[in-house]
Amino acid sequence: MDSPPPIPRTSDWDVPATRIAVLALVAANTVFWIYSFRFLFARSNPMGDGSDMLPALPFTGIFFCLALPAGMKAVRGYDGLGLALTLSLAAAALNAIIFMAVASANA
């Protein structure tokens, strides 16, 4: 008697809702990354040395090291969505922490 082929093992995270959540978080991180440049530029000294734009560096690093790989994992498919969700949540948390520090320094 022929038995059916084995069902491939999948993670509990590999559901469409996780993919949608990751894509939404990555989209929010992308919009925030673009907004951070506008926020910093509006509050920078026009006669300064440009160091007012220095906080854009960690926002850019967070985007390229955490949010972009998470977005690529989510767009590619269901492989590693738990890691993608973790990366996108970490990116959102780090962006919030750094933004609060920058906003309190500019107040």
Q: What is the pLDDT of residues 51-74, one digit of tens each?
A: 888 889 999 999 999 999 999 998
Q: Render pLDDT for 32-44 as a digit per residue (tens, 0 to 9).
A: 999 999 998 888 8
Measure the CA–CA gap between 74 and 70, rounded to whole angstroms.
6
Per the CB < 8 A criterion, the answer to whether 70 and 93 are in contact is: no
Higher pLDDT, 17 or 25: 25
∠ CA 17-62-75, rounded to 5°: 35
Query: Is the pTM here over 0.85, yes or no?
Result: no
Per the CB < 8 A criterion, the answer to whether 30 and 67 are in contact is: yes
Measure the CA–CA gap between 22 and 62, rounded to whole angstroms.
15
Higher pLDDT, 87 or 11: 87
Q: Is the pLDDT of residue 9 over 70?
A: no
Averaged pLDDT score across all residues of the chain: 87
Q: What is the pLDDT of residue 12?
A: 67
Q: Is residue 29 very low, low, confident or very high in pLDDT (cuts 50, 70, 90)?
A: very high
Domain boundaries along the sequence of the chain = 16-44+52-106
Q: What is the pLDDT of residue 13?
A: 66
